């Protein structure tokens, strides 16, 4: 048995690995690690090799951004299959044979082995003996990457194999032990605490590298996770999906999270001065902004690594491998829940930017040439418009024949996250919101509004429970597509309840279309505090437009645009109107009634008041999700949460408890009464087989 068959870890050429983000120079094979770590320039090249392992598609380049973002009220992958699957992770239904699990596991432990070898060799060097500032910073970067990937493995797999030394040195038969997640989290926190004082500040380190602020922010994230709830195995019951627990000393972890988040805040090196949209559009144009919202972003390379902006944003279909425009094809399959846009407050600018309701494809013109056009997305999901290849300027576009490998950086840690982590932790530690916690929440919230939303902040201060809900709501609006929402719900033990309502929104829409009702509408309205489920815009009116630079200024000066800028594709920033849709070379859609159903067909006068000829408006039917012959919602509504809650063809709704089905009552159960969500992934089949019985899957796998 070989070690690589357990971890599937590539263990060679630590110092020589690189990618196009960094120096692409091959060192002679005769170079030993001892020689490499006696030369500062070679140590830097070795660190580049460590970063290169983090940005592969099987880890943070693709899988972290889409495959392992689970379904919730924010992020969504639709599934219409009423049978189990090896790899349907997002709906909590997979097996240890899933190929993506094996690929992620391999890539994660490959990065860990690289970091372990780098740290071991660097700490054995003469530079470490004298605490050389440059080398200490490099060690800190490697330790941050190691802590980052261990943290994500713990969140996804629970208790995992853990080593802080190069596993290869133990021999080919070495099988690292599985350790309790608390031991692992304590270890990586302590490791970061030891190196953070030696690391460089964000003032002198680009956000494409790990800084002191990132180390403290990462400690805060790990501590908040460690102090929160997580799914633990019931080892004497093979059928059990586990139980949700948090440690007895959870407040110690919340205090640690609060203190480390505060370290970042008081450092004063990061602000929220950029407009929310620019935080994501700038990376699409290969602009690196230091000292603002982003604290650490994964540094991908153009035409080499990363699928950011290929996964997200509008779909852009190609014809015979080529697009009409210079951007190349985009899958656009990193989607958002169809009801997500209804969960925002009315004037939140994030809602208009993030929720993409159109896509692009080609058609053949009368002369036989291929042209692209824009189409309404009347589907079970909408696009996540934070990132897109299409947001890249034409001069920086990747080319009409490209697909992935966009090189667009992905923000792993943002200052907005730090502010909200502080707010959440302080509220828990102090048994209610403090003045500073309220200020942190307000800072994030107010950036998203042209005018102050003081009522939201006032209502949040009423109680500890109200403040926690406000912080979670803010995170819901702020971090779509950043692999955050399901983790927040797990940590606060609210995932099961939110999944029930996420399912019911789809089920209700499908039922209303099929037979006119589902019976849970009042419960949904009470939970969401809104009445949209009874007033879904079944027919949406829209108009395709783009604004040329020639008439843009004149158009923006009109009174109707200034009164309602969002309806015309604009946002208010610093008192001025700015384009809300980043690509003005391609047409986008102005949608008349995306947030509520008109009581009757809009009149020509109403549509003309929108600034376009009434005859030019198009219309599309939405939420046609019912099987009218069977009188039930369509399969996409029934089975997209299959491993936790599902419907059937007979009008029944079933919860899944330890693999068995039980009917969902009309009165929604409490969190304590609901089954647990089996979000924990199984160890890959090959890892279990090759461990000679050391590794064992629980949680009913």
Q: Give me the pLDDT at residue 20, please.
A: 34
Query: Once rounded to an integer, what is the mean pLDDT over residues 478-505?
Result: 98
> Per-residue pLDDT for 231 more than 60?
yes
Highest mean pLDDT: which of 9-23, 474-488, 558-572, 598-612?
Answer: 474-488
Residues 6 or more apart in contact with residue 695 via CB below 8 angstroms: 161, 178, 683, 687, 688
- What's the pLDDT score for residue 6? 36
pLDDT score of 518 more than 80: yes
Segment 458-478, tens digit of pLDDT: 999 999 999 999 999 999 999
Q: Are the C-beta atoms of residues 267 and 259 closer than 8 Å to each other?
A: no
576-579 and 370-376: which strand pairing? Answer: unpaired
**What's the mean per-residue pLDDT of the chain?**
91
Give the containing element (helix H, strand E) for 278.
Answer: helix 276-284
Task: Tell me the pLDDT band of 556, cut-offs 50, 70 and 90.
Answer: low
Strand-by-strand arrangement of the 381-384 sheet: 335-337, 381-384, 355-356
Rounded Cα gap, residues 371 and 234, in angstroms: 58
Convert the pLDDT of each residue in 414-446 to its tens digit. Answer: 999 999 999 999 999 999 999 999 999 999 999
Q: What DSSP string describes 107-136?
A: HHHHHHHHHHHHHHHHHTSHHHHTT-HHHH
Provide the CB-side half-sphere exposure for 428 (13 A, CA): 25
Per-residue pLDDT at 13 exceeds 80:
no
Q: Indicate the burial class of 177 (C-beta count within 10 angstroms; 0-12, 13-18, 19 or more).
A: exposed
Q: What is the pLDDT of residues 101-147, one digit of tens each?
A: 999 999 999 999 999 999 999 999 999 999 999 999 999 999 999 99
230 pLDDT above the threshold of 80: yes
- Would you state the pLDDT for residue 547? 58
Q: What is the pLDDT of residue 600?
A: 66
- Does the pLDDT of residue 293 top 70, yes or no? yes
388, 283 in Cβ contact below 8 A?
A: no
Beta-carbon neighbour count of residue 616 at 10 Å? 12
| Segment 47-67, tens digit of pLDDT | 999 999 999 999 999 999 999
* Count of all residues that appear for the chain in the document: 701
Q: What is the per-residue pLDDT for 371?
A: 87
Is this prediction's pTM over 0.85? yes
pLDDT tens for each residue of 625-641: 999 999 999 999 999 99
Residue 368's pLDDT band, with cuts at 50, 70 and 90, is: confident
**Distance separating alpha carbons of residues 25 and 2, to the nearest angstrom:** 31
pLDDT at residue 602, rounded to an integer: 82
pLDDT at 29: 41
Please state whether beta strands 588-591 and 539-545 pair in parallel, antiparallel, or not at all (unpaired): antiparallel
């Amino acid at each position: 048995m070989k070690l690589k068959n357990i971890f599937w870890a590539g263990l060679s050429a630590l110092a020589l690995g690189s990618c196009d983000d960094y120096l692409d120079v091959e060192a002679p094979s005769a170079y030993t690690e001892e020689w490499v770590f006696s030369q500062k320039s070679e140590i830097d090249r070795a660190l580049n090799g460590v970063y290169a392992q983090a940005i592969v598609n099987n880890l943070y380049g693709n899988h972290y951004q889409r495959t392992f973002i689970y379904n919730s009220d924010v992020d969504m992958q639709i599934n219409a299959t009423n049978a189990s699957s090896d790899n349907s992770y997002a709906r909590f239904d997979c097996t240890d044979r899933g190929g993506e699990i094996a690929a992620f596991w391999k890539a994660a432990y490959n990065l860990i082995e690289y970091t372990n070898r780098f740290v071991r060799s660097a700490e054995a060097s003469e530079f470490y003996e004298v605490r050389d500032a440059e080398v200490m910073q490099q060690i800190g970067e490697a330790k941050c990457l190691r802590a980052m990937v261990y943290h994500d493995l713990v969140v996804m797999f629970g208790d995992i194999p853990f080593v802080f030394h190069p596993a290869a040195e133990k021999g080919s038969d070495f099988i690292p032990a599985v350790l309790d997640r608390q031991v692992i989290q304590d270890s990586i926190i302590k490791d970061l605490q030891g190196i953070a004082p030696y690391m460089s500040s964000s003032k002198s380190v680009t956000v494409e590298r790990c800084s002191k602020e990132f180390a403290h922010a990462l400690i805060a994230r790990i501590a908040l996770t460690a102090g929160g709830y997580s799914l633990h195995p019931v080892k004497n019951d093979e059928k059990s999906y586990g139980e949700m627990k948090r440690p007895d000393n959870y407040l110690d972890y919340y205090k640690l999270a609060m203190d480390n988040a505060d370290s970042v805040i008081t450092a004063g090196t990061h602000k929220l001065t950029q407009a929310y949209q620019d935080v994501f559009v700038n990376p699409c144009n290969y602009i690196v902004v230091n000292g603002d919202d982003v604290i650490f972003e994964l540094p991908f390379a153009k035409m080499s690594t990363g699928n950011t902006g290929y996964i997200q944003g509008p779909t852009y279909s190609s014809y015979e491998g080529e697009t009409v425009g210079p951007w190349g094809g985009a899958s656009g399959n990193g989607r958002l829940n169809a009801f997500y846009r209804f969960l925002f407050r009315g004037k939140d600018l994030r809602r208009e930017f993030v929720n993409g309701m159109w896509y692009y494809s080609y058609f053949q013109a009368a002369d036989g040439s291929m042209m692209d056009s824009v189409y309404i997305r009347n589907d079970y999901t909408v696009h996540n418009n934070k990132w897109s290849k299409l947001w890249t300027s034409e001069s920086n576009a990747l080319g009409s024949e490209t697909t992935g490998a966009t090189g667009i950086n992905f923000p792993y840690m943002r200052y907005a996250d730090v502010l909200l982590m502080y707010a959440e932790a302080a509220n828990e530690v102090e048994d209610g919101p403090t003045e500073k916690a309220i200020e942190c929440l307000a800072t994030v919230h107010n950036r998203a509004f042209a005018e102050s939303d003081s009522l939201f902040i006032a209502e949040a201060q009423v109680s500890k429970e109200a403040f926690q809900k406000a912080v979670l709501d803010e995170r819901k609006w702020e971090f779509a597509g950043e692999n955050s929402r399901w983790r927040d719900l797990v940590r606060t033990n609210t995932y099961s309840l939110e999944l029930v309502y996420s399912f019911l929104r789809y089920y209700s829409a499908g039922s209303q279309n099929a037979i006119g009702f589902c019976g849970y509408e009042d419960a949904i309205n009470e939970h969401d505090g809104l009445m949209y489920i009874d007033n879904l815009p079944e027919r949406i009116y829209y108009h395709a437009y783009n604004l040329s630079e020639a008439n843009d200024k004149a158009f923006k000066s009109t009174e109707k645009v200034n009164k309602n800028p969002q309806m015309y594709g604009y946002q208010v920033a610093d008192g001025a109107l700015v384009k809300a849709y980043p690509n003005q070379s391609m047409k986008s859609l102005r949608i008349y009634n995306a947030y509520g159903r008109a009581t009757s067909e809009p009149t020509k006068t109403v549509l003309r008041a929108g600034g376009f000829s009434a005859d030019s408006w198009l219309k599309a039917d939405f939420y046609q999700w019912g099987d009218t012959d069977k009188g039930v919602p369509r399969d996409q509504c029934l089975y997209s949460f299959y491993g936790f809650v599902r419907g059937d063809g007979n009008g029944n709704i079933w919860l899944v408890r330890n693999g068995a089905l039980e009917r969902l009552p009309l009165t929604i159960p409490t969190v304590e009464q609901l089954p647990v969500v089996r979000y924990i992934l199984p160890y890959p089949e090959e890892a279990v087989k090759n461990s000679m019985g050391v590794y064992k899957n629980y949680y009913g796998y």
